[in-house]
Amino acid sequence: MFQMLDAIGKILSGSFLENPVLIVGTGRSGTSILLQALGEHARIVSADGESPFIPYVGALIHPFEYRHNREYHLESLATSKDYLYEQFRKLCFESAMGRYYGLRRFITHPAFLFKKKWTARFWCAKTFPNEVEAQGLAILYPNLKILYIYRNGCDVVYSRMKFRGMSHMEFEQQCSFWAKSVEKYAYLGCMEQALSVRQEDLASHPDEVFSSVQSFIGVDYEAGPTRFAQTSLIHSLGNRTETDVDVQDVLVNRPRGYTTWTSEQKKTFTDLCSEGMKKLGYEIPF
């Protein structure tokens, strides 16, 4: 029974199983809107939520590809490396899409069965690999694409302070977390499989951004992702997701959060985040 379900799921996902598009970035930087918007494209199937397991699989590749004693690891396998990597790819996919190659998810989404089953060529998930993990994933998936979305640190810290699940962290911790994430993902600026996206550009010029993103992924341009980004606020400042709104108008008229910070908080941000702001091309506005 399980083998049959596996076989059905593999058939349904076969056209895009080995072509992941990974959304990478610090929380509150636009990762969710980018993920969900790309799911509006006929050739892209997006996972729900986050997929933190995927980087661990990337780390497992290193003993077989990069270590000085790689031959030992290969010779110790009681199976072939190709078979092992096939299982790794299945684990990555199922951690994002569900058991049996995402079968339940697919059969409960009529839009997939009646349309995307025949058009999808990529799957998309939000995850957080470091450089070593990303190198492993690039070996595992020769067609790997990574989209790194980043945002002004002032806005990220303010948003994280308001967002349930992150608001328990002290202000200094929020600043430190953002600064460390800039260092963590710096490698993506030099990785040929990666494209960097500025959140502010996505908010103000979504059509241009998605045109560039779709070209990078290797799919024909479609307007669906742009329409979604223009009308959807995902978990806006800790509130529920809003749809059918003018996102650009909301963001333009929203007061900047850092104006409420104390002098001490501004100093803390400057001390911890000035280097990260500089690296990403932002100026500290105070």
Backbone angles phi, psi at 212, to 5 degrees: -65, -45
Torsion angle defined by CA atoms of residues 34, 37, 43 and 47, in that order, rounded to the nearest 10 degrees: 70
Tens of pLDDT along 173-210? 999 999 999 999 999 999 999 999 999 999 999 999 99
Cα separation values, 164 from 13, 20, 150, 154, 251, Å: 34, 29, 20, 18, 20
pTM recorded for the entire structure: 0.95
Tens of pLDDT along 148-182? 999 999 999 999 998 888 989 999 999 999 999 99
Tens of pLDDT along 5-45? 999 999 999 999 999 999 999 999 999 999 999 999 999 99
